[in-house]
Structures are given as structure tokens and as C-alpha cells.
Amino acid sequence: MTKQSGNNQNLDLGVYPSISDPLFKKLRDFIYVRTGISMKPHKKVLIANRLRKRVRNLGLSSYDEYYNYLIENEAIELENFIDSVSTNETFFFRGKDHFDVLSQFLLPELFRKKDRINIWSAACSSGEEPYTLRIIINDIISSLGRGVAKIIATDISHEIIEKAKTGIYKNYSTRFVPSATLKRYFQKEGEVYKLKEAVKKGVQFKVQNLLHDRPPDNNFDIIFCRNVMIYFDRKTKQRIADDVFAEVLQPDGYLFIGHSESLNYVSSRFKYVRKLNAPVYMLK
């Protein structure tokens, strides 16, 4: 591709890069159409920061030039673009009350009614959430003496899914794991913790775009999709809740979303269920 000049901002290492307002609007529109994520205006610096490395790796001289490259080579560049702009902040046992509700009430309840349950960890990031689910479920099954649980974890980012599959985490990710759990399910190797194979094998990871791809299965008892809805506008939230999750959740199943999120006045198919102050929803 021929490099362009003119109004391009040079990505000199000594100069903090910027994205023009017209270009940021194009990038926002592109992100929204491909992922459903609504980028607010104040995210311009964040997007510039995240794309800077990719622009340099391609040997391009500006963000404008990168946008042209992305449009002309979407089939091969879209994956890299999504990996660059995705947010993947998470850790084990994040939102402890969710897991308390699960272990104290919902899992025992579900296993009283059925021998097998299916769980979907949507937008799972680097795997801490689905692995936490696996650990908790293994403990519950051991306590009950019966039960089988299948966990499918999905994320839009190929790169982050590959990272999740390794099951290797630094201290930051494991800082809230109880010591007994850490000893039972992890192996310390230098500065990192490696999940034992019994946990790793208990989660199936897949790349999936919530907005455009089919769900990984059509029969779930529990769906986790936490701290994701905050990136969507109301229309996209409703589409994902009512046209995706509601279609694959069992009538007695549960949907978990983040503490800062709500489906009230958004979804016509879900109702709020109060469980230990955790945001949990069921089908109406």
C-alpha cells in the first residue's frame, strides 16, 4: 500500500499521538457496526494508545493511513484491530457475591432438578471468569456427590482466547483466590500460577462475536455476561439480551450481568431477581 502524506500525524516515538475528530468518528462507526460497542468521545486518546503499536508494526506513518489499510484489508486485519481495541480487564473471583449466589443457592437448586447443566461465559476475556466458575462447580459437585457441568467460554478476541487457553496467570489475577483454592487448583511456577489440567480441561473456549455470530449452543442453564453491556448502547443491549440470550436460556435459567449494568427498561424478556444484592435475571 502506498503511504500517504498531507494531514497525516507522524507517529514519532517522542510525540504523543493523536487521532483527528473526523477519523475518530470513522473508527467509532466501524467499531459499532462490527462489534456493537459504542465508543464515547472521551475514548479517543484510549483508542489512539491501543492502535499505536499496531500502526507501527505495519510500518505505517499515521492513523489515517491505518484506517485506509483496515478498510482495504478488512478480511485479514479485522481480527488484529479487534484485539487492539478490546478491553480485557478481569481477575479470579471478580464480583464475589455473584459466585456466592451461585454456590449457595443456584447450583444446588439446579442440580436438584437435573444431573447436567450448561453454562456460557460470554465475553470471557482472558479466562478468569470461566475458570472461577469451573473451580466453584467442581467444589459443589464434590460436595453433592453428583452432577455434571459443561462450560463454554467465548470472546471476540482471538488473541485473548489463546491466552485464556494457556491457564497461566500473574499474581494480580489470582490475588482474591482463597489460599486453599490456590493450593488445590493452581501450581506456582516462578512468578506465575498455572491452572491444573483438571480445571483447564473443564472449560471450552471459542471465538465469538456476540452481535454477529450464533451462540455456541442453544440450551444454557446459566449465562454470565458481566461488565460488557456498559459498552453497548440501549438498542444493542436489547438485541443481545432479547434476541441472543433469551433464545438460548432455559426457562428456569439465570443470566448474570455486571453490578454497574441493568436490563430494566431495556429488555422485554428478562426480569430482575434479587439474590444477595447480585444483579441476576430470569426470563419472564
Q: Interior CA angle at 59 toward 53 and 60, to 5°?
A: 85
Coil vs helix vs strand at 193: strand
Q: String of b and e for 232-241 (b: at least 16 CB within 10 Å)?
A: beeebbbbbb
Tally Cβ neighbours within 10 Å of residue 222.
24
Which residue among 34, 50, 56, 184 is the active-site one? Answer: 50
Grid coordinates belonging to 238: 436489547
Q: What's the rounded Cα separation, in Å, for the pair 198 and 63?
A: 45
Q: What's the rounded Cα separation, in Å, for the pair 157 and 30?
A: 16
Residue 181 and residue 149 in contact, taking contact as beta carbons nearer than 8 Å: no
Q: Does 50 participate in catalysis according to the annotation? A: yes
**Which own/partner pairs from 237-243 qualify as long-range (CB within 8 Å, at least 24 positions apart)?**
237/263, 237/266, 237/267, 238/266, 238/267, 238/268, 239/36, 239/211, 240/36, 240/210, 240/211, 241/266, 241/267, 241/269, 241/270, 242/267, 242/268, 242/269, 242/270
Which residue among 52, 94, 134, 155 is the active-site one? Answer: 155
Coil vs helix vs strand at 210: coil
Tally Cβ neighbours within 10 Å of residue 155.
28
Residue 84 backbone phi and psi in degrees, to 5: -75, -40
Please list, in sequence order, all residues whose beta carbon lies within 8 angstroms of the beta carbon of residue 177, skipping any fewer than 6 positions away.
Answer: 92, 93, 186
Residues known to be catalytic: 50, 155
